[in-house]
Homo-oligomer: A and B are copies of this chain.
Amino acid sequence: MYLSKLFIPITKDLPAEAKIKSHQLMLRTGMIKQSSAGIYSWLPLGFKVMKKIEQIVREEQNYIGAQEMLMPTIQSSEIWKESGRYDDYGEEMLRIKDRQGREMLYGPTNEELITDVFRSSVKSYKSLPQLLYHIQWKFRDEVRPRFGVMRCKEFYMKDAYSFDISDEEAKKSYNKMFYSYLKTFSRLGLKAIPMAADTGPIGGDLSHEFVILAETGESQIYADKNIFEINLNQFPLNDSSLQKMREEFTKIYAVTDEKYKKDEFNKNVKKENQMITKGIEVGHIFYFSDKYSKPMNCLIDDKNGKKTSVKMGSYGIGVSRLVGAIIEANYNNDVMKWPKSISPFDVVIIPSINKNNKENLVKAEKIYLELKKQNIDVLLDDVDENMSNKFKKHDLIGTPYQIIIGSKSEGNNFEFKELNSNSEILSLDKIKIKLKVK
């Protein structure tokens, strides 16, 4: 993609309403544009990053055998009355009347709807376990939306639901999701800590939230550094291995400030391993057994032909929120460096251009075509602007690698730079190797 063709409205002035750095960066680089309070359009740069995150989430859900489907955004109030949550949910639920006066709502979550799908379809233990998920827009009518995509009204979420015959079987599904979440966040370049959590309005008796480290995070975290030493790859995808994995993680001390007790922290964690930092919640998993299946009469025949309420869990990842969270975790000292797995581009070519000499631009275009042929996603900055401004701009756009064609490049050797590192002079062949083995 040529930068001059990319629809990327870069704003130089910092908007006043943007208080946190992810919100600032996303507006400055034209990743999003607010359309009304707490509601955003995703412009091409932001959209591309969000789609890459979505794809990694999808692959890791598929890997554990979850099946993708899609529930609508608008739901009938009927099923919420069955579960008893219609009145409980409060004003954050966007309630709607259609032209015939029927009570509808914009789904803030989907436990009721998936239970309704399931009860009309599955009747026997033989079809269990089932893991179903969808990635869909949701709405919460926040009274004071803020922090850009981190706390907005219309947001994009993956939510999965598990269906099992017994509590014991259901824990196996829970462990699979626990594992899938850790793999997902790791592929997104994030350090995520699973923490025992309260269940809130979803309900249930077992719950973990996944918190990533970011200095600007909303929650204070107290944890044992050893939690980052556990190697996920040692656990194959089977029930006993995943049970062991969850135990490994949960026996290590890690809490948010609500549960923090100083003496416990000191007793459980060696001084040199104590980590006190901040974090952002990016995922939350719940096991709530028959909390929805019972009132909604979602029954399954067990082995003996006896009807029993199916046992359910739900598992959420905030996909649009992750875009902001990843920026909070990676944007420091005026430099944003995207993790390679979700960067909007693999590499940017930055030629020094001036009106009378297009030689560097010609070289840049040649390299551009070479790299495109190798399926490398290249951005070419063909804008006529001085190099200092270009560098500032690309520090924000955040492509992790740069090929700079200016005073330091010599013949067929070019300046190659990884963001936050020093540059080196390399031949195009060597650059290709660097880009491919990333």
Chain A contacts to B: CB under 8 angstroms = 4-7, 9, 30, 33, 35-36, 39-44, 47-48, 50, 65, 67-76, 78, 91-92, 94, 96, 98-100, 102, 104, 106, 113, 116-117, 120-122, 127, 130, 132, 137, 139, 141, 143, 153-154
Contact = CB atoms under 8 A, between A and B. Distances in A.
B70 A42 contact: yes
A117 B73 contact: no
Given A36-B102, A41-B72, A42-B71, 6 more contacts: A33-B121, A39-B76, A48-B68, A74-B139, A74-B153, A137-B137
Contact of A41 (B35, B78, B113, B130): B113
A85 to B, nearest CB: 16
Given A7-B69, A68-B44, A154-B74, A100 B35 contact: no
A117 B36 CA distance: 12
User: Would you list the 5 A-B pairs with minimal beta carbon distance, nearest first?
Assistant: A9-B121, A36-B76, A42-B70, A44-B67, A41-B71
A352 to B, nearest CB: 21
Contacts of A99: 91-92, 141, 143
A320 to B, nearest CB: 10
A78 B106 CA distance: 21
Q: Is the interface of A mostly helix, strand, loop or mixed?
A: mixed
A20 B139 CA distance: 34
A72 to B, nearest CB: 5
A192 to B, nearest CB: 26
Contacts of A153: 74
Given A9-B122, A44-B67, A143-B100, A72 B116 contact: no
A244 to B, nearest CB: 25
Contacts of A7: 67, 69, 121, 130, 132
A294 B99 CA distance: 31
A68 B153 CA distance: 22
A106 B106 CA distance: 10
Contacts of A100: 143
Contact of A73 (B5, B113, B122, B137): B137
A96 to B, nearest CB: 5
B137 A35 contact: no
Nearest to A155: B72
A76 B76 CA distance: 23
Given A67-B44, A98-B94, A99-B91, A35 B72 contact: yes
Nearest to A92: B99
Nearest to A123: B9
A71 B5 CA distance: 20
Contacts of A73: 73, 137, 154
Contacts of A68: 44, 47-48
A100 B143 CA distance: 8
Nearest to A70: B42
B72 A5 contact: no
Q: Which of A69, A71, A91 has the most CB of B within 10 A?
A: A69
27 contacts: A7-B67, A33-B120, A35-B72, A35-B113, A36-B74, A36-B76, A36-B102, A39-B74, A39-B75, A41-B69, A41-B70, A41-B71, A41-B72, A41-B113, A42-B70, A43-B117, A44-B68, A72-B137, A72-B154, A73-B154, A74-B139, A74-B153, A74-B154, A91-B99, A96-B96, A96-B106, A98-B141
Contacts of A5: 65
